[in-house]
Amino acid sequence: MLDQFKLDGKKALVTGSSRGLGLAIAEALASAGAEVILHGRDPQALKDAARQVGAQGHGTDTAMCEMEDEVAVRGMARELLVRHGRIDILVNNAGLNIRKPLLEATSAEWRTVLDVDLTSCFALSQELAPAMIAAGWGRIINIGSVMSVISRAGIPAYAAAKHGVAGLTRALAAELGAKGVTVNAICPGFFDTPANQVHVKNSALLALVKQRTPMARWGKPSELGGAAIFLASHAASYVNGALLMVDGGMTAAM
């Protein structure tokens, strides 16, 4: 049964993987045998991440583009297909959160968050799915959030985008499942990552997360890797359209 979790010979693109949860996912997929393509926009951070993931002993590659630029996103996907022939596993992890309440947020900020967090998932899936369909096998894993099913004040664009990720996941699962491509989402809770340092310094929010989470702590990035390996592997061959909550029980509790 353990062989069902191996990813030997599979090629995986993980967006937003130069740090944080994306890097942890890339490391996990590499540890299971996948050749991982890392994506970011900071050349040095991307180089460092590739060195770290490459230490798993499997091949790595890197790609750069701004995720709010749909034309650039599609161009990156096409370039990677030329370079690698196919992408077996797509992990749409890149994300952005502009924390502003409704009355302060601008239309431009709204569009930026939706473009990075949602439109990029659609564009990459559209570009990379045909090769998966042709091969009769593929995995698309969207990274949602607990904010895909709940919300809180001050993040209208982010909550809308992550709810959209949940809807897109289910829509693509319905469309691609019969073609050998499964589409699922991982929905993390609060994890200790560089992007969340603003929260770590907020004592009120720290207390709220601890109170709301049955495990009474924040997640560690490495704790997301198992979910990614599972959904990317043969072991999840009949899992399609799922929103896998990795949140310490936050969305299960009152």
Domain boundary assignment for the chain:
2-246
The phi and psi torsions of 11 (rounded to 5 degrees) equal -110, 130
| pLDDT score recorded for residue 57 | 84
Kindly state the helix (H) or strand (E) to which residue 37 belongs, with its residue range: strand 35-40
Q: What is the mean pLDDT of the chain?
A: 95
pTM (2 decimals)? 0.96
Q: In which band, very low, low, confident or very high, does the pLDDT at 202 lie, cut at 50, 70 and 90?
A: confident
Q: Over 70: is that where the pLDDT of 217 sits? A: yes
Concerning whether 158 is annotated as a catalytic residue, the answer is: yes
The identity of residue 78, as a single letter, is R
Paired sense of beta strands 35-40 and 11-14, if any? parallel
Residue 200: predicted pLDDT: 67
pLDDT for residue 205: 83
Which of 137, 214, 149, 210 is closest to 185 using CA atoms? 149
pLDDT higher for 193 or 90? Answer: 90
Contact between 76 and 120 under an 8 Å Cβ cutoff? The reply is no
Residue 45's Cβ-count burial label (10 Å; 0-12, 13-18, 19+) is middle
Cβ(70)–Cβ(45) below 8 Å: no
DSSP 219: B
Annotation: CATH topology of 2-246: Rossmann fold (3.40.50)
Query: Which one is catalytic: 53, 129, 158, 230?
Result: 158
Average of pLDDT values for 224-240? 98
